[in-house]
Structure formats: C-alpha cells, structure tokens
C-alpha cells in the first residue's frame, strides 16, 4: 500500500564528545546507528525505519581532524566531510587522485555534509569514495567499546552491498593514507545518464603511483557487489607493452560482475569497464587529471 | 513627442515578482499557514488492474487523531475536463498502481499515515494492459468497460467496446493514389516513452468547507477557474460557493492544468467540520500518482517525387494514454490535426489514436503532444532527405509550410502565420549546417555532428476559451491589474504590466499586478496552458486599457472644456495639444473636482476580455477545416553534439533556436523561456523515461535519484533568435511560444547523431547504451544507409 | 556536550543572526523546523532526499540540504536562510544580480540556488562559468535552462568583489 505521508522516524539523538563515549552509547541503545554526514542514513531511515537512536559523531574533536601520520602518510578523521577532504591542501598536494574522485561525489551541498568514512561504511557498490581509497591502499582504524582497536586494509573492508567487515558496535575512526601511495595520479572515469549528481552505472579509476615496480592501480565500482580492484589488469599495465591497454581492459572486464538494472545492462556495463579503462589511460597519458568525461 | 519612453513592450523591465522570489517573500501553497490544519494521506492502489471488491475504512477511523476517512462509495462522482472517465476515488475498479482508493484526514501526518495503513482493501486482480499494442488487440482486457456511458465533449470520439478513448482521422487528397506516383517511398517507426513533468514544486491542495457550505481551495494549479468549474460539475456545488485561490506556483509544464488533487481535498474537507485539509504528494507520488506525459508509437510513410517534394504522407500516432484520458484525449486530437507538423503535404492519411493502458495517467505536458510527434516527423524528414540524397535543410525548405500553403486540415496560411522557412535558414546558418564540413575529430573516438528540427504548435483549446482582466486606478494614479492567468514562471504578470503601462503611458512601476488569482476577486480565465496567455491576456489588457483611456479623456474633456477627441493621453496627464493645458492623472482617476465644488466622472476602472474569433470545428470524418485553431507558431532548432563512440555518450555542445513570435515582448524573459525549453527538451531526448516494472505494474524509477532531469552541467551553450512577423490578432503582433521551445530538441539531437556517426536511434531517450547498440548494429552491417556527411 | 536521550531535544541555533531556542522531536529536520516553526518558508521541500537543492541553506557558511540535516545537528551552529540575506530596497548583490539577469522564473529553486552560489563565492570569489555549473549541479531548475542563472552568479560575484574593494 502506498500513502502520501512520510513515516516519522521516532529515534532519539545522542551527541557524544569522545569516541569512548560514542562506543558506550552504542552499547546502551536499542537499534543504534552512528550518524556522520547523514546524507544516506536519514533518507534510508525515512524509507525503511528501523533506527532507534542516532549517535552523532560530528562533535567529537578527535574524529574531526586531517593530520599527518607518523609514517609520513595522512590520517582522515571519520567526521571529516568529503568537501573538506577534497580541498585540503595536503590531500591536493599528496593524494590528488583522492581529491579528483571526491570532487565527483554527489553535489556541492552533499559534499559539505557527507563524510568520506560514511561513504565507504555504506558499502554501496557505486561509492565514489571507494576507488581512490582502494588505489591508495588505505588502512582503516577501527575501535570498539572497552578499548579494542584494530586496523584493516580497505581491500578487506567491503563484503557485499551494504555489508562491511565492521563488527556490531565497531566504529571506523580514521582512514590512513600510506606514505608510499603519495604522489599517485589518476583518472576517474564514470558513466551516468547525467553529467553530475548521478549514481554511476560504471566507474573506473586508473591510478599510477609516483614510483615503484607495481605502479598501476585499477579500481572499479558499480560493476560488482562491492567496489574492487582489478589486480591482474594492473600488472599488465605495469608491463607497458604495446597491447597492454587492450589486455588490461580484457582482464578488468573479466574481473567484474555487473548486473542488469535501471542504469544499464550487465553486458553494456562489462564492456564499458574496458572502454572507460582505455579512456582513463588516455587521459592519464595526456596528463590531464580531472577525470571528467568527454 | 508625447508618450516617448513608455514603449514598455519590447523592453527588459524587471519581473514584477522577482524581488518576492529572491527574498523568499513569495509564498507557494505549501508555505501558507492555516489554523487547525488537518493532514491527509491518500491510499493508492497497489495493483495495476483489479476489481475493487471492498474498502474497509473502519480501522482507520479508530486511530487517535483521525478526523475523517473517505472512499469511492462516499463520493461516486465523475470528474474530467473533456472525457469524464475518472471518479474522485476508484469505485469498482483500480486502473493503475497509484489510483486513489481512499483518503484520511488527521491531526498530524503521522496519524494520517498510520490510519491510511490500516484501511483494508479487497481486490480481485485482472490482467493488466501495459502497452498500446496489447491494448488494441481484440481480446485485450477493457480498461474502461463503461466507456460508452461516459460524458464527453462532442469533438472527442471514444470507441466503446475497445480501449480507444479518442481517434482523430485526417484525410486530405488521395493518399493511396498519390503514393503510387512517388519515386521514393520511405517508412519508419518511432517511439516515445512516458515521461514526467518534474516541476520543482510537487502538487499540493488545501481545501476547507465552512459550516455555511462554502468551499475554499488553495492550490498549486495552472487554472483556477477550470478547477472551480470541474469541481462544481463533480460535487454539484454552485460556482459562487466555491473559491479557488492560486498562490505562487513552482512550475507547471501542463501537469497542473485541469484538475488534480482538489477533488480529494474537497471530499475530505466536506467531512471535517470547517477545518482545512491539506493533500500534498511527495516526490515519489509526483512521478507516478498524479499525471505524466503519454507515450507514443508512431508509424510514418512518406512518398516523395523526383524533385524532393513529399506528395503523399501517412502518419499513424498511437498514444499510451494510461489509465484515464480525461485530458489526454485532447492531446490525441491536437496531434491529429497537427500531424503534418511544419510541412505542406498534399495527400495525407493521418490517424491519431488514444489507447487506455494500466499505466499512470497521461495528460497535458508542455507541447501537448507536439514534441512526441515531432520526434517522429522530424526524424523521418531527415531520414527521407538522406535516403533520396538531398540535403536535409534544402529538403525541409522544399516541403515546409508558408503563406499560401495548406496545412493537413486544408487551412491556407496567410502572412500572419509566421515564417518557418526563415527560421530554418537562420538555424541552419547559426549551427553551421549551411557549410561543407569535414568532421574535425577525424578518425578519433569522439565524433561531432550537427542536426536540426522544426517545430509548430497551435493552442489546443475549446474555441471559446476566454481570458479577461480588470484594470482599476488607485487614488495616486497607480494602476491595479487583476487577472486569473497564472504566472507559473513564464512571466505572465510582468508581460501584462508591460502592455498596460504602454497603453496608458504609465511608468512600469505604476502598474501593480495582483499576485493571487482568486475566483472570487479576479476575472475569468479559462486556463494557463497552450502558450495562449501573452496573446489572450495581452489582448484583454489592451482592450481594458483602451476603455480606461476613454474614461480619462471624457473626464478631462469636462475639466478642460474641450471635446474628448481633441485631447490626448500623455505621460501622467491628459493634455490638450492645442492649448498645451493638461490635467494630471491623479486629478482624473477618481473623477474631477472643479474649483466651485462640483464633480464629474468617477473612479476609472475597466474589465475586458478576449476570445478568439472565427474558429470552425473540424469535419468529423476528414478533419478538414479552414480555421481549426487560433494561431500557429513556427520555429526551428539546430544542435551540435559530440558522441563518444567508445561508450555511446552524447554531449550536446550548442543549440541555436529561432522562432517567429510575432513580437518580442520581453527579450530576457523569452530568452529564458527558450533556454528552459531547450534543456527540458534535452532531458527528454537524452535521459528521461518512466520505467515500468511489468511484474508489479509500478514505476521503477519514481525518485529524483533514479529519474534524472538535466543539471546545470548538462545544459549546453544556447543562442536564441526571434522573427517578428506580426500575428494579425496578437497584442502588438505577439503570439505564444512557451511550449514550442522544447518541441524540436530531441529530434534535432537524433539528426545530429546521424550526422556524427551515421546511426539513427528511433526511440527516445538517446541513452548511451542505445547509441552504442546502434553503432554495433551498423558495424555488423545490419543497418546500412543513412550514413552522415 | 549533549547526551540527551529520549525523543525531545533542546536546541539553540543562530538563525539569520538571531538566537532561536526550541524544544523539539529529535527526528525533525532542520528544513521542517525552519518552515513550520519559524515560518521561514524560503527553503522549499522538493524531494526530501537531497536530490533537488530547493532546501539549501547555509550552515556555518556552507551550503547544505536542510532536508538532510536534523534540527538537532544545527544546535550551536549558525544558519542563514534566504530571509536573512536581503530585503526589498536592500538586496544582497547576488539577489540583485538574479533580478537583473532574469535568472528567476517560477522561483521555487531560487532561494536554494542563491544560497548555494553564495556558499561557492565564500570559497571562490571569482569562479569560472564551469566552476559555477559544478557548484550548482545539485540545485535543479526545470524552468530556466540554467544559462541566465550562471550569468547572474558571474555578475553577482563581480558586484561582491567590487563591494569588497570599496
């Protein structure tokens, strides 16, 4: 049955001042959820209900920082908005590929509210925050009540649509960008019906590290249950042979598992993985950075 | 020289509502506060086609805070503008997912939603009809078995016993005989899906029925008087007991024409003891539950002689009217008598057929069927030109209408109809179709192409559709202008003020246009549709101004002791040119008081109307008529696109438009209208389509996340030019253009795609996936010909 | 630090320069509170899911979709709505540019459009047309085709830079 009125959400709102307090609140509430930017959780709560308490992370000072890590990398707190990350001088200078991808996430008002941590915790197959973090081999710092803490590679984080490796009550606190990935350049190609603020039907990031043996990173989204890397295709690009791009495209197309939906057929999507990979390599070679199609 | 500086028509004056809208002062229906407001929830059918066995309102009424619940048996009244095929709520049958079945009014939206969820409905599912092909089959389920019993205007011809809600036939000359003489015969089929208007403001209506039985409606609507009239016909109210007020409206595009949520709000308000009830749809319901644009399946056959003249043309337009055709039947009709578009075909066989399906309700949408038929016709004209090896621009010029040429209904156009040939030439030149080109992209993956399409439309309205205005002066000689045409964004109030200020030689800021059309206070207007307001209301304003002027001159004649016809209205006064004596307006507008104390004249005010003259009905068998419509507006658009042949993506880089508007009343408003129409056209051309889940009958993409309309980044560079061939009965020569701006865009893009890479896509929208499939098909050699330059 | 549980929450928000306090249900959006309780109806409800931009207001100077912000989240923050920007006779230069450039048609998107543009100009006082289009891509307009809106923002930006110099 369809009705005109939005359901009331009827949740309580809590605002902890520290991570420990946030974790304790979680433990004490029925059907709790962490609230970062709210751009996904609020519409979902309105659609589906099922949330008893929202625990707002935005006033926790330790989550609201972007700072240099001990190893020379960068640590991004879970409450940092996408826009803040995208325009941060250190991100722009050292991780321009992240900046380029994030500037294509949602709209300006959404980027002012949504957080990078929230974007990946939603674990949408089409998350625009995921490809760059996969390419940079980001490490996630997770904490749980009682002082438990662990780190997880971004590659081990996504488990399925809407599913992550987070345990109940566990909080993603910081996203760590390794020093070794600094200087990576990339081209992020996304296909959608509209040129902005549209969920992609296919997105391909080709990134190239500043140095090292295994320099290429190929990350795909919207073409599998989770965002993923096409590692075999990366190795082919590393080889830099005349037919590398074609072969990498073939391997990337083989690595994905798209579905038919409103945004495109599986066959088209798979083929577009190859096409966008080629377009990304072309753009990367022509040294443009923006990743804006056509 | 008297009056200099008051030539407001043609000037970029400030919009009369601009400050209201940039400060947030402008109030739209949902912004209004009502004491003791009740909130409604509508229970809608979850099945596309079913017998409605029982509706149990009881459980809803026991929810705390619920004031009233109502369903079909409580108000079994028919409603509709042309064909009364719908009831306020479904009575014995539901016909689409979203069909209103019941509604509740409660103290809060939560209580209303809770109560609505408890209403129990028993259905007996029926086989649904999801497309027109099935709908036309002899054994198809009948969506409206009662079709023969519905009340209907005489010029709509439903076919009882079938799913055909209207069928207009155009027969001119002898198509079959002419076709045999043709050197080339080219046939094609084209398709357009259902799309939605997507006004930024969703539909909302607030109704109150006071204890004396008077009805007051505040509503987001294009047509306050038509809402009143249809509401009275539905519920049996006296017109004078119903007051319809239209605040600022956040876009209409046809979706707020006719009558929409008002009967539901009224049915509830009748049961709420004088309290107001608000019915508001959310964005999702806006997509599927109110109205959409019809789908179209078109089949065209063109017979061409060796000189590139189309001498025989057959057109069959089959419309998916959805579940109800109350308004859509007239789209079918308009598409019929305009079936030949901007072209002069001698031998014509045209059929425009409306078919019921179990989809959302097809209704008026900016262009009223014209974008859809132009998609087919302008694609066909381009395809025919390429097939016979003629330049598409030249081919259009050889076949287009013009003075002395006859339309498909046999109307011979005069000079006043406008000049489509010059529009074609200007657009071809502006977009660069007039020069030999080689693709600058060479053999790379990005191909560029250019294409064009023409547009024509006439107002589709009853022959006696009227507009009227009231002008009255304030004591300080400020002029108040009252009208019931609705400013849905197009700038009607500003345009009306320009005509009044020019006619009465007033500063533009001395004309105030009453903000709210209100059937109790403002004069009659049929509807704000059909690109008719500048033309109809503009004429009414000029007539009323003439009356005011006469009154001012008569009073001044007494004051100055001169005959009225010796005097002239000047800026701020009436002057005697012989003596140089004058009387300021503020001493005339309330009557003139002589020094000895006696007075002449009185408050100056006038009411005037405009109704088009000389219209004649179509012949019922052939649709021939010397003057079936009040006016035509012609134009053309050219587009330049880039196609990424790796992905099939089309980017529209540039659009050039030219329309013959008779008179440019306000340059920046008409530019804005044109750009807005182009981008709306681009949306339907490239990305918009309501997708039906054929299992459930639901619209699968009824959110703004899933149904995309163009953003600022999708809008191309646009240039707009205008011709000013005066309209004989237009106010200072003006004719309408609001809808025409979105008509040719998709076809022009499709034609540019052929130019760019030699493939034609026959169905809108031109998604990347479709384009790539067409490129594949060409590569596979399955589709030859049509190769672009 | 607020750790209220339960459905009611107290907030204190500076709205258009004025401190407003309220007790309200925790699940109410900033948009609902502005429109229903404060009668600041310039922010519009167009989709309630952050897709249309008609509800954009500035929160601590940044454009946000107020339908996706809980009123509770605005506690202690500053909100600017269109009503706080300018008024007849004293329009903000950006509002004046929207008037002068005929960037307004039905007007439903206009408040959100102006505030989103203002947020852009706060970060980038001299944007290119492309930067303006990118910043406004989440503010849908069905009437204008955007061209005159972009012209208005360029014009308004110039006026604001001019104003800042003098």
| pLDDT tens sequence across B654-695 | 999 999 999 999 999 999 999 999 999 999 999 999 999 999
Question: Which of A214-218, B373-377, B438-442, C21-25 is predicted least confidently?
Answer: B438-442
Q: What is the pLDDT of residues B56-103, one digit of tens each?
A: 999 999 999 999 999 999 999 999 999 999 999 999 999 999 999 999
C7 and C76 in a common domain: yes
Class of residue B438 by CB neighbours under 10 A (exposed 0-12, middle 13-18, buried 19+): exposed
pLDDT of residue C4 exceeding 80, the answer is: no
What pLDDT, on a 0 to 100 scale, did the predictor assign at position A69?
A: 83
Report the distance separating Cα A31 and Cα B686, nearest Å: 43
Q: Which residue of C has its CA nearest to A39?
A: C68
pLDDT of residue B131 exceeding 60, the answer is: yes
pLDDT of residue C3 exceeding 60, the answer is: no
What pLDDT, on a 0 to 100 scale, did the predictor assign at position C78?
A: 98
Q: How far is B280 from chain A (nearest CA, A)?
A: 7
User: Of C84, C107, C138, which residue constitutes the final position of a domain?
Assistant: C84
What is the CATH classification number for the domain harbouring B230? 3.90.1170.50
Report the distance separating Cα B319 and Cα B548, nearest Å: 48
Provide the H-helix boundaries in A103-209. 108-111, 116-121, 130-135
CA B435 to each of CA B429, B490, B491, C116: distance values in angstroms, whole numbers, following the listed order:
8, 36, 38, 42
Best residue in C147, C148, C153, C154 for a mutation probing chain B (most B CBs within 10 Å): C147
Judged by a CB distance cut-off of 8 A, whether residue A62 touches chain C is no
Q: What is the pLDDT of residues B442-460, one digit of tens each?
A: 678 999 999 999 999 999 9
* Chain B residues within 8 A of A268 when measuring between CB atoms: 769, 772
Which DSSP symbol is given to B197? -
Give the start-end residues of each E strand in B210-268: 215-219, 242-245
B602 and B638 in a common domain: no
Q: Which chains touch A (3 or more CB pairs under 8 A)?
A: B, C
B385 and B240 in a common domain: no
User: Of C51, C84, C117, which residue constitutes the final position of a domain?
Assistant: C84
Q: Which residue of A has its CA nearest to C10?
A: A13
User: Of C84, C104, C131, which residue constitutes the final position of a domain?
Assistant: C84
CA B427 to each of CA B250, B434, B653, B660, B744: distance values in angstroms, whole numbers, following the listed order:
32, 9, 15, 12, 12
C100 and C41 in a common domain: no
Q: How far is B508 from chain A (nearest CA, A)?
A: 39
B656 and B632 in a common domain: yes
pLDDT of residue B21 exceeding 70, the answer is: yes
Please, which pLDDT band fits residue B788 given cuts at 50, 70 and 90? very low
B89 and B22 in a common domain: no
C72 and C97 in a common domain: no
What pLDDT, on a 0 to 100 scale, did the predictor assign at position A2?
A: 36
Nearest-by-Cβ selection for A4 from B285, B644, B713: B285
CB atoms within 10 A of CB C6: 11
What pLDDT, on a 0 to 100 scale, did the predictor assign at position B4?
A: 59
Check CB contact under 8 Å for A199 and B705.
yes
pLDDT of residue A6 exceeding 80, the answer is: no
Instruction: Give all strands of the β-sheet with A12-14 in edge-to-edge order.
Output: A12-14, A53-56, A32-35
C99 and C58 in a common domain: no
User: Of B610, B637, B672, which residue constitutes the final position of a domain?
Assistant: B610
Percent of chain B whose predicted confidence (pLDDT) is above 90: 96
Burial state string for A162-185 with b = 16 or more CB within 10 A and e = fewer than 16: eebbbeebbbbbbbbbbebbbebb
Q: What is the pLDDT of residues B580-619, one digit of tens each?
A: 999 999 999 999 999 999 999 999 999 999 999 999 999 9
C114 and C52 in a common domain: no
Please, which pLDDT band fits residue B782 given cuts at 50, 70 and 90? low
Range of the domain at C154: 93-165
pLDDT of residue A239 exceeding 60, the answer is: yes
C137 and C118 in a common domain: yes
Which residues are CB-neighbours of B721 under 8 A, at least 6 positions away? B426, B430, B656, B657, B658
C159 and C98 in a common domain: yes
What pLDDT, on a 0 to 100 scale, did the predictor assign at position C6?
A: 52
B706 and B691 in a common domain: yes
Average pLDDT value for residue range B548-572: 97
Q: How far is A120 from chain B (nearest CA, A)?
A: 19
What is the CATH classification number for the domain harbouring C54? 3.10.20.30
* Chain C residues within 8 A of A13 when measuring between CB atoms: 4, 9, 26-27, 70, 72
Check CB contact under 8 Å for B714 and A194.
yes
Q: What is the pLDDT of residues B92-103, one digit of tens each?
A: 999 999 999 999
Check CB contact under 8 Å for A108 and C5.
no
Q: Return the CA Rg of chain C.
A: 16
Burial state string for B703-726 with b = 16 or more CB within 10 A and e = fewer than 16: bbebbbbbbbbbbbebbbbbbbbb
* Chain B residues within 8 A of C142 when measuring between CB atoms: 197-200, 251, 253, 676, 680, 709
pLDDT of residue A68 exceeding 60, the answer is: yes
Please, which pLDDT band fits residue A10 given cuts at 50, 70 and 90? confident
Strand partners, B318: B297, B353
What pLDDT, on a 0 to 100 scale, did the predictor assign at position B86?
A: 98
What pLDDT, on a 0 to 100 scale, did the predictor assign at position B39?
A: 98
Residue B164, in any domain of the structure: no
pLDDT of residue B784 exceeding 90, the answer is: no
pLDDT of residue C107 exceeding 60, the answer is: yes
B636 and B570 in a common domain: no
What pLDDT, on a 0 to 100 scale, did the predictor assign at position B786?
A: 44
Q: Which chains touch C (3 or more CB pairs under 8 A)?
A: A, B
C139 and C105 in a common domain: yes
Are the C-beta atoms of A251 and A245 separated by less than 8 Å? no
Mean pLDDT (chain B) is: 96
Best residue in B16, B22, B29, B366 for a mutation probing chain C (most C CBs within 10 Å): B22
Percent of chain C whose predicted confidence (pLDDT) is above 70: 96
Nearest-by-Cβ selection for B715 from C51, C107, C145: C145
What pLDDT, on a 0 to 100 scale, did the predictor assign at position B516?
A: 86
- Number of domains chain B contains: 3
Which DSSP symbol is given to C146? S
What pLDDT, on a 0 to 100 scale, did the predictor assign at position A8?
A: 53
- Number of domains chain C contains: 2
Range of the domain at B348: 292-461+616-784
C17 and C69 in a common domain: yes
What is the CATH classification number for the domain harbouring B363? 3.30.365.10
What pLDDT, on a 0 to 100 scale, did the predictor assign at position A47?
A: 86
Are the C-beta atoms of B262 and B676 separated by less than 8 Å? no
B449 and B394 in a common domain: yes
Nearest-by-Cβ selection for A197 from B289, B691, B711: B711
B662 and B708 in a common domain: yes
Are the C-beta atoms of B128 and B49 separated by less than 8 Å? yes
B325 and B231 in a common domain: no
C98 and C70 in a common domain: no
What pLDDT, on a 0 to 100 scale, did the predictor assign at position B443?
A: 76
pLDDT of residue B783 exceeding 80, the answer is: no
What pLDDT, on a 0 to 100 scale, did the predictor assign at position A5?
A: 36
* Chain A residues within 8 A of B769 when measuring between CB atoms: 264-265, 268
C15 and C68 in a common domain: yes
Q: What is the pLDDT of residues A168-216, one digit of tens each?
A: 999 999 999 999 999 999 999 999 999 999 999 999 999 999 988 899 9
B728 and B638 in a common domain: yes
Check CB contact under 8 Å for B22 and C98.
yes
Please, which pLDDT band fits residue B351 given cuts at 50, 70 and 90? very high
Strands B215-219, B204-209: parallel, antiparallel or unpaired by DSSP? Answer: antiparallel
Judged by a CB distance cut-off of 8 A, whether residue C114 touches chain A is no
User: Of B610, B641, B660, which residue constitutes the final position of a domain?
Assistant: B610
Check CB contact under 8 Å for A4 and B121.
no
């Amino acid at each position: 049955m369809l009705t005109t009125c939005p359901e009331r959400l009827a949740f309580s709102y809590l605002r902890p001042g520290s991570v420990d307090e946030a974790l304790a609140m979680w433990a004490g509430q029925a059907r709790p959820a962490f609230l970062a930017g709210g751009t996904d959780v609020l519409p979902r709560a309105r659609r589906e209900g099922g949330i008893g308490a929202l625990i707002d992370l935005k006033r926790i000072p330790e989550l609201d920082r972007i700072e240099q890590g001990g190893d020379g990398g960068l640590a991004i707190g879970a409450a940092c908005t996408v826009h803040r990350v995208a325009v941060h001088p250190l991100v722009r200078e050292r991780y321009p590929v992240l900046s380029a991808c994030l500037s294509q996430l949602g709209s300006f008002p959404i980027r002012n509210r949504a957080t990078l941590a929230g974007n990946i915790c939603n674990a949408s197959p089409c998350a625009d925050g995921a490809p760059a973090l996969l390419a940079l081999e980001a490490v996630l710092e997770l904490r749980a009540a009682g002082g438990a803490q662990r780190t997880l590679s971004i590659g081990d984080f996504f488990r399925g649509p809407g599913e992550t490796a987070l345990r109940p009550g566990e909080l993603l606190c910081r996203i760590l960008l390794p020093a070794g990935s600094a200087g990576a350049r990339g081209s992020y190609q996304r296909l959608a019906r509209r040129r902005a603020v549209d969920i992609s039907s296919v997105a391909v990031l080709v990134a190239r590290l500043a140095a090292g043996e295994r320099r290429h990173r190929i990350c795909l989204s919207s073409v599998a249950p989770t965002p993923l890397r096409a590692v075999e295709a990366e190795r082919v690009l590393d080889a830099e042979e005349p037919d590398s791009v074609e072969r990498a495209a073939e391997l990337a197309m083989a690595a994905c598992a798209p579905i038919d939906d409103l945004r495109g057929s599986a066959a088209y999507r798979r083929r577009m993985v190859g096409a966008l990979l080629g377009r990304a390599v072309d753009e990367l070679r022509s040294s443009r950075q923006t990743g804006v199609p056509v | 020289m008297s009056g200099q500086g008051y030539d407001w028509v043609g000037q970029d004056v400030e919009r009369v509502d601009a400050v209201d809208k940039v400060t947030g002062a402008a109030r739209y229906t949902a912004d209004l506060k009502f004491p003791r407001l009740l909130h409604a929830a509508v229970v809608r059918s979850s099945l596309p086609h079913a017998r409605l066995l029982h509706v149990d309102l009881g459980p809803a009424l026991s929810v705390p805070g619920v004031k009233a619940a109502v369903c079909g048996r409580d108000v079994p009244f028919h409603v509709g503008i042309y064909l009364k095929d719908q009831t306020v709520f479904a009575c014995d049958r539901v016909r689409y997912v979203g069909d209103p079945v019941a509604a509740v009014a409660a103290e809060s939206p939560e209580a209303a939603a809770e109560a609505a969820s408890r209403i129990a409905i028993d259905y007996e599912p029926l086989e649904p009809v999801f497309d027109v092909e099935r709908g036309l089959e002899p054994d198809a389920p009948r969506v409206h078995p009662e079709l023969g019993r519905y009340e209907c205007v005489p010029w709509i011809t439903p076919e009882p016993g079938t799913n055909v809600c209207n069928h207009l036939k155009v027969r001119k000359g002898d198509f079959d005989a002419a076709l045999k003489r043709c050197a080339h015969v080219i046939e094609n089929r084209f398709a357009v899906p259902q799309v939605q208007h997507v006004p930024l403001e969703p539909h909302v209506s607030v109704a109150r029925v006071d204890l004396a039985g008077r009805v007051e409606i505040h509503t987001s609507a294009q047509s306050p008087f038509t809402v009143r009239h249809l509401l009275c016909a539905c519920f049996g109210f006296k017109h004078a007991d119903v007051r319809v007020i239209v605040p600022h409206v956040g876009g209409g595009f046809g979706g707020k024409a006719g009558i929409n949520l008002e009967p539901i709000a009224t049915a509830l308000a009748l049961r709420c003891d004088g309290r107001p009830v608000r019915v508001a749809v959310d964005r999702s319901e806006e997509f599927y539950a109110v109205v959409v644009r019809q789908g179209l399946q078109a089949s065209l056959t063109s017979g061409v002689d060796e000189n590139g003249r189309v001498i025989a043309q057959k057109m069959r337009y089959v419309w998916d009217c959805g579940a109800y055709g109350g308004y859509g039947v007239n789209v079918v009709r308009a598409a019929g008598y305009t079936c030949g578009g901007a072209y002069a075909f001698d031998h014509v066989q045209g059929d425009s057929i409306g078919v019921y399906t179990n989809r959302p309700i097809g209704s008026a949408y900016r262009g009223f069927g014209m974008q859809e038929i132009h998609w087919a016709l302008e694609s066909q004209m381009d395809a025919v030109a390429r097939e016979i090896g003629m330049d598409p621009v030249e081919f259009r010029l050889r076949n287009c209408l013009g003075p002395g040429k006859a339309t498909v209904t046999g109307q011979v156009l005069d000079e006043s109809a406008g000049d489509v040939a010059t529009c074609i030439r200007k657009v071809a030149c502006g977009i660069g179709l007039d020069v030999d080109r080689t693709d600058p992209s060479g053999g790379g993956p990005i191909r560029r192409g250019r294409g064009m399409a023409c547009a024509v439309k006439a107002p589709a309205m009853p022959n006696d559709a009227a507009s009227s205005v009231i002008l009255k002066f304030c004591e300080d000689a400020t002029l108040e202008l009252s009208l019931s045409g609705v400013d849905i964004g197009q700038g009607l109030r500003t345009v009306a003020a320009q005509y009044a200020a020019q006619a009465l030689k007033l500063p533009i800021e001395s004309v105030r246009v009453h903000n709210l059309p209100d059937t109790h206070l403002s004069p009659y207007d049929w509807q704000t549709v059909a690109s008719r307001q500048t033309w109809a209301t503009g004429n009414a304003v000029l007539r009323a101004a003439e009356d005011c002027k006469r009154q001012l001159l008569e009073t001044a004649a007494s004051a100055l002791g001169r005959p009225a016809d010796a005097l002239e209205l000047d800026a701020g006064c009436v002057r005697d040119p012989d003596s140089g004596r004058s009387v300021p307006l503020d001493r005339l507008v309330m009557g003139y008081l002589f020094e000895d104390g006696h007075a002449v004249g009185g408050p100056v005010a006038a009411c005037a109307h405009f109704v088009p003259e000389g219209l004649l009905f179509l012949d019922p068998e052939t649709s021939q008529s010397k003057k079936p419509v009040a006016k035509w507006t012609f134009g053309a658009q050219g587009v330049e696109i880039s196609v990424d042949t790796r992905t099939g993506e089309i980017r529209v880089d540039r659009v050039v438009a030219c329309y013959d508007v008779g008179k440019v009343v306000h340059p920046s408003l008409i530019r804005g209208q044109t750009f807005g129409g182009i981008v709306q056209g681009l949306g339907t051309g490239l990305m918009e389509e309501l997708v039906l889940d054929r299992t459930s009958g639901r619209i699968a993409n009824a959110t703004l996340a899933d149904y995309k309309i163009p953003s600022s980044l999708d809008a191309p560079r646009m240039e707009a030019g205008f011709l000013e061939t005066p309209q004989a009965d237009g106010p200072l020569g003006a004719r309408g253009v609001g809808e025409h701006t979105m008509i040719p865009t998709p076809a022009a893009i499709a034609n540019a795609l052929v130019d760019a890479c030699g493939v034609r896509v026959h169905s809108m929208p031109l998604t990347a996936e479709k384009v790539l499939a067409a490129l594949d098909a060409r590569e596979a050699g399955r589709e030859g010909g049509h190769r672009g330059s | 630090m607020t750790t209220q549980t339960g459905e009611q929450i107290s907030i204190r928000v500076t709205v258009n320069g004025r401190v407003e306090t309220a007790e309200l249900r925790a699940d109410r959006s900033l948009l609902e509170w502005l429109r229903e309780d404060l009668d600041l109806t310039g922010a519009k409800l167009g989709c309630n899911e952050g897709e249309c931009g008609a509800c954009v207001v500035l929160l601590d100077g940044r454009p946000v979709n107020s339908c996706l912000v809980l009123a509770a989240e605005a506690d202690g923050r500053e909100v600017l709505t269109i009503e706080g920007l300018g008024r007849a006779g004293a329009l903000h230069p950006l509002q004046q540019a929207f008037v002068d450039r005929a960037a307004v048609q039905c007007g439903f998107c206009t408040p959100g459009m102006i505030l989103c543009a203002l947020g852009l100009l706060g970060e980038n006082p001299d944007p290119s047309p492309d930067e303006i289009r990118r910043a406004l891509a989440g503010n849908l307009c069905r009437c204008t085709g955007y061209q005159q809106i972009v012209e208005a923002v360029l014009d308004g930006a110039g006026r604001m830079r001019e104003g800042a110099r003098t």
